[in-house]
Structure 1
Amino acid sequence: MNAADRERAVELVQQAYADGRLDPAELEQRLELALTAASSQELAPILADLPPESRDEVVEIGSTGGPVTRTGDWHVPRHLRVESEYGRVRLDLSEALIRHAEIDIELMLAYGGAKIILPAGASANADRVRIGWGRVICRTAGRPRPGGLHVRITGELAHGRLIVRNARQSR
C-alpha cells in the first residue's frame, strides 16, 4: 500500500464527518484504523459504507466571449477546469466553501488573463502553467502548509497573465 491510498482514506473519512455521516467517535476510530492500516485490504472496511469520492470528476466552466467570475459563497470542487477563448477569469476563493485540503485548477485560456484569490494562509503552486505571451505572478507560499489549503494550478495561457494572491486581511 502506498501513502496516497492512506491519504485518500483519511480524506474520505474526514469528508464523511464534515458531511455529518459520522459522529466524533466514529471519526476518531476510523482515522486511527486508516492511519495504522498495513494494506489496502485493511482500508476497505473503513470505507465500505461511505460514498466513493469521485476524485476523477472534473467540474468545467467555460466561456467563448465573456468573463468567467466566481466570488462570494460558492462551492469549490476538488478539480476545476476553466476554459475561455476571449475573456478574463476571476476566481475568488476567499469566502468560498472548500471541503478539500488540496484542490486542482486547470486554466485553458486563449486570450485573457486570470486572477485567483486564495483564503488567507493558503498556498499555491503554479509551476505547471505554460504561458505564451504574458507571465505568472504568484504571491503566495509555494509549499503546502499543515492544516492549510493548497492549490495546484496547471494549464495554458496563450496571451495573458496569471496572478495568484491571498485575500487581503481586513484591519
Structure 2
Amino acid sequence: MQMRVSDEDRERTTQQLQQAFSEGRLNRSELEERLGAALSAKTYGDLLELITDLPAVQPQADGVVELGSKNGNVKRSGDWAVPRRLRVASKYGSVELDFTEAVIPHQVVDVELDLTYGSAKIILPEGAVANVDGFQADWGHPSTKVPSRPRPGVLCVVITGRAKYGGLTVRYPRKRWFTH
C-alpha cells in the first residue's frame, strides 16, 4: 500500500502498539523501536508492517483510558504506557501519576481528575510542562512547580477536573543527593 498516511493514522497505530505493550505482547525495546517507525511512517504499508503480528484492537469509547478507586489509592509509576487521554476517579484515596519512566508516545496528554476526599500528585520528566488552568479545587488548591507554556517537542500534560476536599501538586522528580 503506497498511499500516504496522515498524522491521525500514525496516532492510531501508536495507540495499538501501546495497547499491545500494556498487554505484554511487546517488550519496552520493541515498543520504542516500533513507535519510532510509526511516527516516521510515510505509507500505509509502513504502518501495517508494524502491527501485522498483533491482534486487531477494538477502539475504546472516545479513546479514553479510565482508572478509578473508591477506597484505595490510584498509582502509576515505573515503566507504564501512557494513553493520550486518561480519566482518573478516586472517592476516598489519593492519586499519584509518575511519568518519569513511562512510555509516552504523545506530545500532549490530557488528564482528567475527579477526586472527592483525596489529593493528586503528578510527577513529570525534567523539561515537561503542565497546564492546570482547567482544574478546580473546592477546599485545596493546585500547586505547580513546572512551567505551563507549551513548547515544541516537549511533553505537555493538560490537567482538568475537580477535587472536592483535596488539592493537586505537579512537580519534577526530587533531586537525589549522593555522598561518597
TM over 0.5: yes
Letter of the 1:122 partner, please give it.
A
The offset of 1:20, in angstroms, is 2.8
Identity of aligned residues (%): 45
In structure 2, which of residues 77, 86, 91 is the aligned counterpart of residue 80 of structure 1?
Answer: 86
Task: Indicate whether 1:148 and 2:148 are aligned.
Answer: no
The Cα offsets for residues 19-55 of structure 1, whole Å up to 9 and x where unpaired, read as 638869x937x3xxxxxxxxxxxxxxx5687479x69
Q: Which runs of 5+ in 1 are unaligned?
A: 1-5, 31-45
SS of the equivalent of 1:98 reads coil
Unaligned runs of 5+ in 2: 1-5, 18-30, 49-56
- 2:76 counterpart (59, 67, 70): 70
Q: Is the 8 A contact 1:120 1:169 kept in 2?
A: no
Instruction: Give the whole-Å Cα distance in 2 for the aligned partners of 1:85 and 1:12.
Output: 32
Provide the C-alpha distance between the structure 2 equivalents of 1:97 and 1:124, rounded to a whole number of angstroms: 17
Amino acid at match of 1:92: D
Q: Segments of 4+ in structure 1 off by > 4 A?
A: 6-19, 21-24, 46-52
- Aligned residue number for residue 27 of structure 1: 40
Q: Is residue 139 of structure 1 aligned with residue 163 of structure 2? A: no
Partner of 2:171: 165
The letter of the residue matching 1:113 is S
Aligned-pair CA distance for 1:93 = 0.7
Specify the SS of the correspondent of 2:40: helix
* Offset at residue 18 of structure 1 (A): 5.7
Report the equivalent of 1:98. Answer: 104
Q: CA RMSD in A?
A: 3.2
Q: 1:118 aligns with which of 112, 117, 124?
A: 124
What is the TM-score normalised by the length of structure 1? 0.72
**Structure with more strand by fraction:** 1
SS in 2 for 1:152: strand
Match of 2:133 in 1: 127
